[in-house]
Amino acid sequence: MSYFSSDFKLGILGGGQLGKMMLTETRKFDIQTYVLDPSNEAPCQFGATRFFQGDLTDYEQVMALGKQVDVLTIEIENVNLEALETLEKEGLKVFPSPKTLRLIQNKGNQKDFYLKNQLPTAPFTRFSTLEKLKQAVESSEITLPFVWKVAQGGYDGNGVKVIRSFSDLESLAEAECIAEQMIPFKNELAVIVARSAAGEIKTYPVVEMEFHPEANQVEYVICPARISQEVSDKARAVALEVSKAFNHVGLLAVEMFQTHDDAILINEVAPRPHNSGHYSIEASYTSQFEQHIRAILGLPLGNTDSKVAGIMVNLVGEDGYSGAVVYENIEKIMAIDGVTPHIYGKKETRPFRKMGHVTIVNENMDKARKIAQEVKETIKVISK
């Protein structure tokens, strides 16, 4: 099948920033794209061949998009799986498959899957309600501190909280959840695995993530991670094992902990382009977004090596600002060599909302990290 300058149509469920960056690649290849998203201000509305406003969890609306396209992919996991299963049965290629998404969409199922497949992960207990978790804490069945994760619908900075006292439980959502043992770790790492519809498989270099202490959001993604070759090899090997177990097509971002004795434990996975791979747009031979397109279409996978050291800084809304967005001092960071801002196109800012990212590339990692710090301290996402 010819994908380029042809009648072929790629469907994308979700029209946020990940979709927007995917569209940069489909436009480069002249591939038609149909995108569905609930927001009339979705970042994808301008880059898609056709943009439809609709509910990603609605069976009929997902079916309607699927009927118009030749291959369907996602940029967010929270989509109607029953519709995807029906479309797949009717012969539509859906990547990642609904089967993979069903395993990943619920964090409790995801954790059970690691145990079943003997993949290393932190000990955990599942709870059908918040009330049952509270009872387990009261009876000392679960000991403080621990990490609470909502089972369904959580995302970076939302749906994950460290519980240090019983009162911390009061602010949590009433929902199915897991209580995960807190693991003392040296580093949070991630590896993106690309697996094509034709069966080819490649891993990107290990990246290291530095987190914001309050918002539980990644502040810096550093590639290559500042770890030994031995730990790097181990992390890539674990990521490959996870990828094989899920049998996914497309990208799989595997987030991991490196413990103090250099064991690797899986934290969680995302079956799509991921925040930990944004550095690749400027720093890699093949960006994660181009790789995802190559993988789901069964095209040859591109080189995953980095050309240069890369650091990604998330641009999130400053605390205390809500409303029409202003990127203060953006001109100052653009005057620095090797600095590229990516603005997602969200018109409204609010505290800690992801509004964009900045990539810093440099031959020298230490220099790149210093520039990243300068960028972080200079640019501010505020409101009018």
Q: Is 314 annotated as a binding residue?
A: no
- 180 in a labelled binding site: yes
Asked whether residue 75 is marked as a ligand-binding residue, the answer is no
The fraction of the chain above a pLDDT of 90, given in percent, is: 93
The list of the chain residues with pLDDT below 50 reads none
pLDDT of residue 212: 75
Query: Both tokens of residue 300?
Result: 């040859």
Q: What angle do CA 18, 117, 150 make, to 5 degrees?
A: 50
All structural domains of the chain, each given as residue ranges with its CATH number in brackets, are 9-94 (3.40.50.20), 123-181 (3.30.1490.20), 185-383 (3.30.470.20)
How far, in Å, CA of 262 to CA of 229, rounded? 12
**Which contacts (CB < 8 Å, 24+ apart) does range 137-145 have?**
137/163, 137/166, 137/169, 138/166, 142/179, 145/182
User: Which pLDDT score, from 0 to 100, does residue 232 have?
Assistant: 98
Please give the Cα distance from 315 to 380 (Å, whole number).
8
Q: Is 170 annotated as a binding residue?
A: no
What residues contact residue 374 under an 8 Å CB cut-off, 6+ apart?
Answer: 333, 336
Read off the pLDDT of residues 12-64 as tens digits, 9 standing for 90 and up.
999 999 999 999 999 999 999 999 999 999 999 999 999 999 999 999 999 99
Is residue 182 a known part of a binding site?
A: yes
Tell me whether residue 22 is annotated as binding: no
Q: Is 107 annotated as a binding residue?
A: yes
* Phi, psi torsion values for 13, nearest 5 degrees: -90, 115
Neighbours of 211 (CB within 10 A): 14
**pLDDT at residue 158, rounded to an integer:** 76
What is the reported pLDDT for 137? 94
